[in-house]
Structure 1
Amino acid sequence: MSRLTAGVVLVTAHEPPLDPEGPRGEDVGMTATSFMSVSLDPPLVMVSLREGSRMDDLLAEQPLWAVSLLSENQRQVAGRFAMKGRVSDRLLFADLPYDRGEVSGAPLVGGALATLECRTEQRVTAGDHTLVIGRVLAAAVPGADGGPLAYFRGRYRQLG
């Protein structure tokens, strides 16, 4: 499967605080290459999450999430959120330019080719992964320069 070229996205969600009176919840993010459009009517997308990952656990409870389609200039963003044994998500977002989605409350990364805000419609267990199908509630094309960031044979690549 390493010979299949895939687009690279950042999936994000906002973890609400346990106590509404307490400190603000935390933003969570992960790099994904298993992402696709499922349907235009209604607008549905799908992402594959490793079962038991922090994002899988969060989206089992929190139905709202977002996707930033990364540009070829965002290799460092993809690498940052793909690291195993990484630092806390709070630190990963610390110096990253982003806007907060009006619908999902999730981070929408600056410089992305497009952003989507989604609500989970269905979760399907498939081996050691969960396929999360989401309805697109809002979409934007912020006008980033360049082409898409791709992943091929274990490396990030530029197309063209």
Structure 2
Amino acid sequence: MTNLRRVMSTFATGVTVLTVGGENPHGMTANAFCSVSLDPPLVLCCVARTARLHKAVSVEGRFAVSVLSAEQETTACHFADRSRPHGWAQFAAVGWVPGSRTGAPLITGALAWLECEVTEEVVAGDHSVFVGRVLEAASGSGEAALLFHRGAFHGLPEGEAAGVPDGRVRTV
């Protein structure tokens, strides 16, 4: 499947940190995250069934999502590092606050945060797709997004999202 990995690396994605609080606190960098529905408000994330986060989400039934800003590449690398500490100790390296609805860590300085309750877990190959009902959503003050493309992190400055240097939105 190296060809599939190479092909999928051409698809630029945003970068998030998924977190769980409670008895099984854990965080993980993920780019397999998206909106599913506005009514009801649903999102999904895909987590390898062998990942520590998988068990934590399954047990707690809740998770949070921090959408990382371009300045948070170090945070993304920290939560992708399998040698980081376990439990609450892994969050000592970053600023965070507990989510008001889930207690899951919300990463300080992120572009946005969501707190979710799992409504469905679907096994899909070596991963599970967790569908979460959004309990709370908030936006931060950051402007530039952290992207992952071709195996590397990239910042997307404000105004370039629509491909227009002056920040105007282009319609088709």
Using the size of structure 2 for normalisation, the TM-score is 0.83
Aligned match of 2:20: 13
Give 2:154's match in structure 1, choosing from 149, 154, 157: 157
Give the one of 7, 10, 17 matched to 1:3: 10
Q: Secondary structure of the equivalent of 1:61?
A: helix
**CA displacement at 1:122 relative to structure 2:** 0.3
1:70-85 superposed matches below 5 A: 70-85=68-83
In the TM superposition, residue 89 of structure 1 has moved relative to its aligned partner by: 4.1
How far residue 74 of structure 1 moved from its aligned partner, in angstroms, is: 0.2
> Matches of residues 74-153 of structure 1 in structure 2 within 5 Å?
74-144=72-142, 146-153=143-150
Bigger Rg, which one: 2
When structure 1 is superposed on structure 2, of 116-125 and 94-103 the one drifting more is 94-103
How many residue pairs align between the two structures?
Answer: 150
Cα drift, residue 69 of structure 1: 0.3
Q: Which amino acid aligns with 1:102?
A: S
Query: Contact 1:69 / 1:115 at 8 angstroms: preserved in 2?
Result: yes
SS in 1 for 2:55: helix
Who is 2:163 aligned against?
none
Deviates more, 1:93-102 or 1:123-132: 93-102
Kept in 2, the 8 Å contact 1:15–1:28? The answer is no
| Greater fraction helix | 2
Structure 1 gaps, min length 5: 17-25
Aligned to 1:29: 27
| Dislocated runs of 4+, deviation >2 Å | 84-92
Closer, same or farther in 2 for the Cα pair 1:88/1:61, shift >3 Å?
A: closer
The SS at the match of 2:50 is: coil
Contact 2:116–2:133 at 8 Å: present in 1 too?
Answer: yes
User: What secondary structure, in the 3-state scheme, does the structure 1 residue paired with 2:136 have?
Assistant: strand
State the superposition RMSD in angstroms.
1.3
Higher relative contact order (CA 8 A, sep 6+): 1
TM-score (structure 1 length as normaliser): 0.89
Give 3-state SS (helix, strand or coil) of 1:87's partner.
Answer: coil
Q: Distance in 2 between matches of 1:119 and 1:54?
A: 18
